[in-house]
Chains A and B, each alone.
Chain A
Amino acid sequence: MLKLKDISVIYKDKTVLNKLSLTAEKGEIIGLVAPNGTGKTTLFNVIANFLKPNSGSVTFLDQLEYKTEKDELSIRKILVSFPDQGDLFDELTGVDHLNLYASMWKGTTRHIPEVIEQLRMTGYVKKKVRTYSLGMRQRLCFAMMMAADTPIMLMDEVMNGLDISNVALISQQLMKMKQEEKLIFVASHLLENLDLYADRVLYLKAGGIIHQQSLDESTALYIKIDIDREQYERLSQEYKLPDDHLFIANHLCCIPIDQMDEDEQSKWIERFLASKVKELTVGPLGTMELYEKFYVEM
């Protein structure tokens, strides 16, 4: 459905994206993870043609590229980007915004009451946007995406400013959208939340995708213990830790257990319990742990 090939965005002294390639299919939610300023928004801008990259191509549905205005229009009809809440029109109401997106993409506003109800916006949506809180604005931005209801959606910082219940509400809607076979890109700093609905998470660094985590496939299991560096060094001296173990962000030691038999696994658990570690869990590495692995400096 979407193919990025060798996308490079290079400013004089900075390479933001470096020959990045990616393929995405319908019905996928793709999480995009990286610290601020590492190219998430730039990547979205390239996909939406707000930024023409130095090189590379963006292809939709195997044939459409941003080569002519006619092609761009065909792409725009199937693509919508998450609005920045600072860009909302303060003097207009939430309904005005929803009607705008619905009429521009779907040509009708009949589905708007349903969107309002699903996102529990009935109480404020008819008021002017200038009276909205941060969370209300963010929900409106998400509702605008729902109003546009396009097959491809780019959602940058979608959970910004939302409280826990609203994060859950939006996550639920994202899962519904996935069932509708939409291709959704979500850039978010709520890493554990991504695990709920993303099919895969891409980790961006130095202009490229350094890791692609697939969440719907079985992944390697680890014993994960929360320890400080001092404890880690003591453990390293006492026991020979496996070569492929990880010590992430100065606090998380992960021992791979896929290749171990049950006795060996139990032995490691007992050792750790004896060392009085703060927390011990068994499972695959989550988005949060991988994020720390890739971005938090030791």
Chain B
Amino acid sequence: MFWNYTRFETKLLLHNRKSWFIAVFLLLFFLVFFIYDSRAQPQTLIEQKRVEKEEMNIIFENVEYMGEELPVMAKIHENLLKQSSLINFQVYYLGIGDDSEQYIENGLELNQLRLQVHELGNKGIPKHLIKSKEEILKEDALLHYMKEHQMTIEESSFLTNHFFTNALNRMSGLLLLIIILICGSELLLYEKVHETITKGFPLSFFKKVGGKITVYFCYIYVLLIMGFLIGMGYIVTKLQAKDFSFPILIYKNHEYIAVSIWQYLIYIFVGMALVTVLILIFSILLNMLFQNAFANLLVGIGIYFLPDLVHSPLLSPIKYIDIASCLSGDLAVQLGSPSLDWGNAMVWLAGITFLLIGCIYAINQYMYIRKPKDKPLLKPF
């Protein structure tokens, strides 16, 4: 019965125009985003280093203006000289020197020097040019990873990572929430329009819900991955990228670690899978409570923004559906919760999913226990 019902749900999904609009959106989102993003010409690694070189000149002017007589200032000046030299060498190794190994070694040394300047209080350095400890540690993690894996610097690989993370950050969170809420807005409600057909099926409520979630999850998730692959195909062709070895930083166990792009994508898509299931189940609950498609969307979005209005640690897990931000550590910084990483978010999301299932179960059971008082009770689904 379950599979027969699931097959029927699939048929309905395929005949629904709304599903086709969402399918087209999901298939084209990454492609359009990559086309748009690649027009902006992101900074290459060598360009970034040249900017750092320019910034170093400004810092020198400032430090020299402050005076180098003080012992601290003299130490900072000496440190900055070394940093400047290392940055110049990095530019050389990325360019005509073409030596990834030396670039990495210089980078690691440069980060140590930057941390020392932090310890000296960053005196004389303009505030806007101070590289935060967090950024230094991120870069350090990247370089360590590359050193350990004896990797070479591939500019195209660096850029693909930039595009991938940008696009996935954009999709994760609010946008994915809206897409799933739209998909799930009529999960149970459309049955009201066809109730004399669907109401009497010899199928338990949970099997029915299970069938619906299975179909809609596969639909959203397959399209999401297909859309990403289409976009990926475009960007790889455009950048003529041959390998994807350049690592990406993720936040894990209170620190930043570098992982390969493939690991990063697995983390993201596994996370999005759980988020998709969670929001679909949430949609079922909203369908049961409000019996209105518009309310499904409005209440769903409203709840997502609730933690921004009411600052409470109890509400923070709502934001965990932005799995890309959990993975990058941005959400940990934003919420001031250093323990929040991908694993932590996944445990919370799984917990919320079970909680929602519990609520749906309880409401369904209540329908059987409830005694009519002043009017008979209409079975809603």
A residues near B (Cβ < 8 Å) are 9-12, 46, 48-54, 66-69, 72-73, 76-77, 79-84, 87-89, 91-92, 96-97, 100, 103-105, 107, 144
Contact = CB atoms under 8 A, between A and B. Distances in A.
Interface string B10-41: 01100110000000000000000000000000
Interface residues of B, number: 32
B202 A54 contact: no
Interface of B: 1, 4-5, 7-8, 11-12, 15-16, 193-197, 199-205, 364-365, 368, 370, 372, 374-379
B203 A51 contact: no
Contact of B205 (A52, A53, A69): A69
Contacts of A12: 374-375
Given A54-B372, A84-B196, A104-B203, A89 B12 contact: yes
Contact of A76 (B8, B202, B370): B202
B5 to A, nearest CB: 7
Contacts of B195: 50, 87
A141 to B, nearest CB: 9
B379 A83 contact: no
Contacts of A80: 200
A76 B205 contact: no
Given A50-B379, A68-B368, A69-B368, A87 B202 contact: no
30 contacts: A9-B376, A10-B374, A48-B199, A50-B199, A50-B200, A50-B378, A51-B376, A51-B379, A52-B379, A54-B375, A54-B376, A73-B202, A76-B201, A79-B200, A80-B200, A81-B200, A83-B197, A84-B196, A84-B197, A87-B194, A87-B195, A89-B12, A91-B15, A92-B12, A100-B197, A104-B1, A104-B5, A104-B201, A107-B1, A144-B197
A107 B4 contact: yes
Contacts of A92: 11-12, 15
A48 B198 CA distance: 12
A66 B369 CA distance: 10
Contacts of A76: 200-203
Residue from B12, B203, B205, B376 with most neighbouring chain A CB atoms (10 Å): B376
B202 A104 contact: yes
B379 A103 contact: no
B3 to A, nearest CB: 9
A52 B11 contact: no
Contact of B202 (A49, A51, A68, A77): A77
A51 B200 contact: no
A67 B4 CA distance: 26
